[in-house]
């Protein structure tokens, strides 16, 4: 085992210049660890390399110590990162964990990295919840199980880990949040920098948003100003990016208006800026009192509180967990949550009683010396040594629910051709080679499928670029629906004229499917609201549909709708009625040799067993599910070539009951439908055979087919319209493209075996 002076460390987390607290923390820990290892003053990159988690596709202008980047919502990159780290020469990996830092539900994509990592692991937890959701509990428990050492920054977190997450106490280490080594000195030189010379100053710092308790501080200030009219309250920090995304600067404006209403607008200074460490230290050194009025007790760590303590500030805070631990023994004043009078009284006393303020400042500064970064760096190096010892002795942790069968290299989902085929009306039906063919206009069928693909791209990868297109596809469905009957028109010419008064039954089913999907994966509340309204209006027309495929497609949409609205009796009854219809048509046609509902197997065939399987699960009718599985097995057998690859039933004659099967004009639509059915079969039965079939079906797209040719144009990112006797149909229309994208997205969703949807 290498000595600490030879230690090579890889750190995973967000990283500067990304603007978030963990990015700054990762940078500071990296410097501290490097300093603790490198007694000869070698550069940072000598001992520490950074794996940066990006929240944008473009990344950031990182320094040379960043050797690898992971895009937050690209699952494949987590597995790739594990392979790189395993061969990187790193002796230990230091991970910064926060649920929202990583992609997937509750940051579950991180598990892909950890399951494939073969290096000692030290994990620093920035949140430890007392009452986690089932998903949060599962993810954090698995992260801790894989970690050789778990670092927390508050004693309360240590108890939560043992009591709630069953982490062995000997693997938990308490290391305080590091702080800069700042001397205790006069505030006036720093106040002058901010134009506040001679004024008493209160400071609050952090990303601005609801949940910070600033309203309480403003109300308290309103009670202080009559006695201390020159007091200045500086609220430092930009608005939280999530708040800006959802509501712009409305929250900041509401605080400014509140200050005006209270008559304290001259006393409240909103410094809407992101500050460097040096600037933050200057603000802290200017302040007389630091205030953290957070309204929630379940804050296990606060970097800003630690920094204020280190700078020797008098602190007034609500009693959240980290404050309870840091502000004892005269190091601060705790005031109950929401207690305006309590805050006003504590602030007034500290601003007017210099002796009380100085005593508190000295106590805070003295305690802060134990938290300076140099000492914290030494403790992290010690944790690395402990992790290496544990890793060398412990048996590897294996998570058997990870489906090795799905471990295949997948193309990155690229939506270039989707965007090419779409305009401000919707997605065009056909293409001449890779160019949109405007002569054929648009249809509801394709816009419904495009809506599903766009929603899935958003759900899986938080792909912001797709959102305007998603809105256009939903708008098309909205315009297609007849407000009286609830049915959807289908074909629209390029000049936006409907070419029919009522669309096909299939277009009704696909619209219901798409609306159900988007409302259960909606990126915004308004999207969900519109999808719900259109779905409910369209549901009334579903029972009048005459054809089995339209029933099956509608059943998929109802399944998604019921995930969000499980108590909707009308939707349950409609699903049951459609399932009865499907059973009845099977009973009228099937035999032991021909378990199908009509005398010819035509198009979109996998949707029939998929709907039966899902309805059987949702309605708790096992016989229905078993029928779907049986039909699916038959379809697989009928479409397996002697060589073992998928040979899709061609639409140049289909497959008849008398035994004839068309080999060519194979359609991507068929492969996509089968992949959806295999997913449902695996999710309901747990049988890994369906994962094998799913992979084999996906391989049809990338060359394992009757001609051994790829169906994907990796230059345009489109999909060829069919596999014909002489090669591919080189047109790349919407149906083929959307079938490919839907298949690819499902494969990405399924690779870790935790896809939440049945369909």
| Closest to 403 measured CA to CA, from 174, 206, 683, 107 | 683
Q: Tell me if 537 sits within 8 A of 488, measured CB to CB.
A: no
Q: Tell me if 581 sits within 8 A of 615, measured CB to CB.
A: no
Rounded to whole angstroms, how far apart are CA atoms 477 and 532?
12
Which 3 state secondary structure label does DSSP give 150? Answer: strand
Rounded to whole angstroms, how far apart are CA atoms 516 and 535?
7
Rg of the chain over all Cα atoms, to the nearest angstrom: 30
pLDDT of residue 398: 46
Which 3 state secondary structure label does DSSP give 117? Answer: coil
Per run of 10 residues, the mean pLDDT along the chain (length 759 residues) is: 74 94 94 82 70 91 95 89 93 96 92 94 95 94 96 93 95 94 90 95 92 93 96 94 86 95 96 87 94 90 90 95 93 96 97 96 93 94 95 64 58 94 98 98 98 95 93 98 96 97 96 98 95 97 95 98 96 97 93 94 97 97 96 96 95 92 96 97 92 94 96 96 96 98 93 62
As to burial, measured by CB atoms within 10 angstroms (0-12 exposed, 13-18 middle, 19+ buried), residue 249 is middle
Q: Tell me if 83 sits within 8 A of 93, measured CB to CB.
A: no
Can you name the residues that pair with 49 across neighbouring β-strands?
Answer: 10
pLDDT of residue 403: 46
pLDDT of residue 4: 62
pTM of the model: 0.78
Kindly write down the DSSP assignment for every residue of 573-626, as one continuous string: HHHHHHHHHHHHHHHHH--SS--SSSSEE-SSTTHHHHHHHHHHHHTT-HHHHH
List the domains of the chain with CATH numbers. Answer: 4-178+374-393 (3.40.50.2000), 188-370 (3.40.50.2000), 416-750 (1.50.10.10)
Is cis: bond before 443, omega within 30 of 0?
no
Rounded to whole angstroms, how far apart are CA atoms 73 and 38?
35
CA dihedral over 380, 385, 387, 388, signed as positive or negative: positive
Rounded to whole angstroms, how far apart are CA atoms 258 and 217?
11
């Amino acid at each position: 085992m290498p000595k600490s002076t030879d230690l090579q460390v890889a750190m995973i987390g967000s990283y500067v210049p990304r603007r978030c607290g963990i990015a700054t923390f990762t940078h500071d820990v990296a410097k501290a660890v490097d300093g603790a290892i490198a007694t000869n003053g070698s550069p940072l990159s000598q001992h520490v390399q950074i794996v940066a988690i990006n929240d944008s596709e473009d990344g950031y202008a990182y320094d040379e110590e960043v050797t690898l980047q992971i895009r937050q919502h690209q699952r494949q990159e987590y597995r790739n990162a594990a392979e790189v780290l395993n061969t990187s020469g790193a002796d230990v990996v230091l991970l910064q964990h926060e649920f929202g830092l990583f992609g997937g539900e509750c940051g579950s994509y991180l598990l892909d990295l950890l399951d494939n990592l073969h290096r000692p692991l030290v994990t620093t937890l920035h949140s430890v919840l007392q009452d986690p959701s089932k998903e949060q509990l599962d993810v954090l428990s698995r992260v801790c199980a894989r970690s050789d050492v778990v670092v927390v920054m508050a004693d309360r977190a240590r108890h939560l880990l043992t009591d709630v997450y069953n982490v062995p106490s000997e693997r938990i280490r308490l290391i305080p949040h590091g702080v800069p080594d700042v001397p205790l000195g006069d505030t006036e030189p720093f106040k002058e920098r901010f134009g506040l010379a001679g004024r008493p100053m209160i400071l609050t710092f952090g990303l601005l948003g609801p949940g910070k308790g600033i309203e309480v501080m403003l109300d308290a200030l309103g009670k202080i100003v009559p006695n201390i009219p020159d007091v200045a309250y500086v609220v430092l920090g930009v608005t939280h990016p999530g708040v800006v995304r959802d509501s712009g600067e409305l929250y900041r404006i509401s605080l400014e208006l509140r200050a005006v209403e209270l008559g304290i607008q001259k006393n409240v200074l909103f410094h809407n800026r992101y500050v460097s460490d040096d600037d933050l230290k200057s603000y802290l050194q200017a302040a007389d009192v630091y205030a953290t009025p957070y309204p929630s007790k379940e804050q296990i760590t606060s970097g800003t509180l630690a920094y204020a303590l280190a700078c020797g500030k008098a602190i007034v805070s609500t009693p959240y967990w980290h404050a309870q631990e840091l502000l004892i023994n005269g190091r601060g004043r705790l005031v109950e949550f929401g207690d305006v009078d309590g805050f006003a009284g504590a602030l007034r006393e500290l601003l007017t009683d210099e002796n009380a303020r100085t005593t508190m400042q000295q106590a805070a500064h003295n305690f802060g010396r134990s938290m300076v970064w140099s000492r914290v760096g030494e403790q992290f190096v010690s944790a690395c040594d402990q992790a290496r010892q544990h890793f060398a002795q412990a048996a590897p942790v294996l998570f058997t629910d990870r489906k090795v069968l799905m471990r295949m290299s997948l193309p990155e989902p690229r939506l270039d051709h989707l965007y090419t085929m779409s305009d401000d009306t919707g997605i065009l039906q056909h293409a001449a080679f890779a160019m949109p063919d405007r002569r054929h206009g648009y249809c509801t069928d394709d816009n419904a499928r495009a809506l599903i693909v766009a929603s899935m791209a958003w759900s899986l990868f938080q792909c912001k670029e797709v959102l305007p297109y998603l809105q256009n596809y939903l708008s098309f469905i909205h315009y297609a629906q007849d407000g009286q009957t609830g049915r959807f028109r289908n074909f629209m010419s390029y000049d936006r004229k409907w070419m029919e008064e009522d669309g096909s039954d299939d277009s009704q089913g696909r619209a219901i499917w798409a609306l159900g999907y988007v409302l259960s994966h909606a990126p915004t509340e308004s999207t969900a609201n519109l999808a719900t309204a259109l779905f409910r209006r369209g549901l009334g027309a579903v029972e009048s549909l005459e054809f089995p495929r339209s029933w099956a497609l509608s059943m998929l949409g109802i399944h998604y709708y019921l995930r969000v609205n499980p108590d909707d009796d009308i939707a349950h009854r409609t699903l049951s009625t459609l399932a009865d219809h499907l059973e009845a048509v099977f009973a009228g046609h099937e035999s032991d040799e021909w378990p199908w509902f009509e005398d010819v197997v035509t198009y979109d065939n996998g949707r029939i067993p998929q709907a039966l399987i899902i309805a059987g699960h949702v309605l708790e009718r096992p016989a229905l599910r078993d029928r779907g599985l049986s039909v699916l097995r038959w379809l697989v057998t009928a479409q397996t070539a002697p060589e073992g690859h998928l040979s899709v039933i061609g639409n140049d004659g289909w497959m008849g009951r008398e035994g004839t099967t068309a080999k060519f004009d194979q359609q991507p639509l068929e492969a996509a439908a089968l992949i959806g059915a295999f997913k449902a079969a695996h999710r309901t039965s747990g049988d890994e055979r369906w994962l094998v079939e799913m992979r084999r079906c996906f391989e049809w797209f990338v060359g394992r087919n009757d001609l051994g040719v790829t169906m994907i144009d990796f230059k345009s990112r489109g999909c060829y319209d069919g596999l014909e006797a002489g090669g591919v149909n080189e047109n790349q229309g919407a149906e083929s493209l959307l079938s490919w994208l839907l298949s690819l997205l499902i494969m990405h969703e399924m690779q870790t075996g935790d896809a939440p949807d049945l369909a």
